[in-house]
């Protein structure tokens, strides 16, 4: 198989490329390095089945050639991270919507299967239970910029399903819930690597808000394995799947756990969302997936516990 990964030099993209190469596939990535890094793919460049393009998915001529030459597309390129979303809402919307529309349009031209990576942010403030793919979405007001990302990814999902319904394009959508592991940085607001780095350096572990909000963290290798299996299944076209862990933890407890595991002297402090992000921010109180659908289809089950994930991230930053 010849795989194209957009955003392939990013945290998840580099692990996905590695997984595909390990099974003997060919992989080409395109990344503009806005949030990705060449260091993420350095080890892969020694593999003769790996190649890459430094460039933007907005370059239609380049993307057309890459899609024409591949068998399937993993579309990961997007504006991500709470910090980036709050600082550059226009870039977030344009990159996510325009970029995805072009990838889908060209993929349809050559009828190549596409996996669209979406997000748990889609569900918004829905907190009643573990989130199922067909649950209603509860988004905040327009002036809360946090929801620009969720809304842009919602448009991506509608576009993908529209191409499937009208054009018979084989697409599968995955909603990722807090994917974590080695190579992820805290530069764009990712909480777990930020806490680990602060604990290792003896700096304050900073919680935004009251810390009672809960999250569920999935190990990146479990996530990319599920993505590859969904892409390979003929039963997934035109459907949406949660990928994540059902092991739920509050941000307060996450900070305490990381401090203990590092044996850190760091203080745990709290600051307001306004102080962290300025005006226009609203957080979601709970974000835990129901993964029964993907479990039924491909037998998905996270193999790495939260404690094991944290240990791997600690070891990565120590190195």
Residue 190, pLDDT score: 87
Q: Which of 52, 74, 123, 149 is catalytic?
A: 149
- The two tokens of residue 87 are 């600082």
Is residue 230 domain-resident? yes
26-56 in b/e form (b: 16+ CB < 10 A) is bbbbbbbeebbeeebbeebeeeeebebbeeb
For the domain that residue 110 is a member of, what is the CATH number? Answer: 3.40.50.720
145 contacts 85 by C-beta, under 8 angstroms:
yes
- Summarised one tens digit per residue, pLDDT across range 153-193 is 999 999 999 999 999 999 999 999 999 999 998 776 689 99
Report the C-alpha gap between 286 and 222 in whole angstroms: 22
Cβ contacts of 242 within 8 Å, gap of 6 or more: 120, 131, 132, 133, 174, 175, 177, 289, 290, 291, 293, 294
Is residue 107 domain-resident? yes
The question of whether 149 is a catalytic residue gets the answer yes
Q: Is 289 helix (H, G, I), strand (E, B) or coil?
A: strand
Cβ contacts of 11 within 8 Å, gap of 6 or more: 36, 40, 179, 181, 183, 184, 185, 220
Maximum Cα–Cα distance across the chain: 58
Question: Within 10 A of 136 (CB to CB), how many other CB atoms are there?
Answer: 8
- Helices 89-110 and 146-167 cross at an angle (nearest 10°) of 10
- Summarised one tens digit per residue, pLDDT across range 4-21 is 999 999 999 999 999 999
Whether residue 280 is predicted with pLDDT greater than 80 in this model: the reply is no
Band the pLDDT of 233: cuts 50, 70, 90: very high
Phi, psi of 196 (to 5 degrees): -65, -45
Q: Is 313 helix (H, G, I), strand (E, B) or coil?
A: helix
- Summarised one tens digit per residue, pLDDT across range 248-259 is 999 999 999 999
Please state which of the ranges 79-83, 202-206, 208-212 shows the lowest mean pLDDT.
79-83
Q: Which domain holds residue 293?
A: 2-180+218-246+288-302
182 contacts 304 by C-beta, under 8 angstroms:
no
Is residue 6 domain-resident? yes
Cα angle for residues 161, 138, 243 (degrees, 5° grid): 55
Is residue 133 domain-resident? yes
pLDDT averaged over every residue in the chain = 93
Is residue 267 domain-resident? no
Whether residue 138 is predicted with pLDDT greater than 90 in this model: the reply is no
Is residue 127 domain-resident? yes
Report the C-alpha gap between 223 and 244 in whole angstroms: 7
3-13 in b/e form (b: 16+ CB < 10 A) is bbbbbbbbbbb
Whether residue 123 is predicted with pLDDT greater than 70 in this model: the reply is yes
Is residue 166 domain-resident? yes
Q: How many domains does the chain have?
A: 1
Is residue 154 domain-resident? yes
């Amino acid at each position: 198989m010849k795989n194209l990964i957009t955003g392939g030099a990013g945290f998840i993209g580099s692990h996905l490329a590695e997984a595909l190469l390990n099974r003997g596939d060919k992989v080409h990535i395109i990344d503009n390095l806005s949030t990705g890094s060449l260091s993420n793919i350095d080890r892969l460049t020694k593999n003769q089945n790996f190649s890459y393009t430094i460039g933007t998915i907005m370059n239609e001529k380049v993307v057309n050639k890459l899609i024409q030459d591949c068998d399937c597309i993993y579309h990961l390129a997007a504006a991500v991270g709470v910090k980036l979303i709050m600082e550059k809402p226009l870039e977030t919307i344009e990159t996510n919507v325009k970029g995805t529309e072009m990838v889908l349009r060209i993929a349809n031209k050559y009828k190549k299967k596409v996996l669209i990576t979406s997000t748990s942010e889609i569900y918004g403030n829905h907190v009643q239970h573990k989130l199922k793919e067909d649950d209603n979405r509860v988004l905040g007001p327009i002036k809360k910029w946090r929801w620009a990302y969720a809304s842009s990814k919602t448009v991506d999902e509608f576009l993908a399903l529209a191409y499937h319904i009208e054009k018979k394009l084989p697409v599968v959508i995955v909603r990722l819930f807090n994917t974590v592991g080695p190579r992820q940085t805290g530069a764009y607001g990712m909480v777990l690597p930020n806490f680990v780095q602060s604990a290792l350096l003896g700096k304050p572990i900073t919680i935004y808000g009251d810390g009672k909000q809960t999250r569920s963290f999935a190990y990146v290798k479990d996530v990319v394995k599920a993505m590859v299996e969904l892409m390979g299944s003929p039963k997934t076209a035109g459907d949406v799947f949660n990928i994540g862990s059902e092991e739920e933890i509050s941000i307060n407890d996450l900070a305490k756990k990381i401090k203990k595991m590092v044996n850190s002297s760091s203080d745990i402090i709290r600051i307001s969302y306004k102080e962290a992000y300025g005006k226009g921010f609203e957080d979601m109180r709970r974000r835990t997936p129901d993964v029964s659908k993907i479990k039924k289809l491909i037998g998905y089950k996270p193999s790495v516990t939260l404690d094991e994930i944290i240990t791997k991230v600690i070891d990565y930053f120590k190195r």
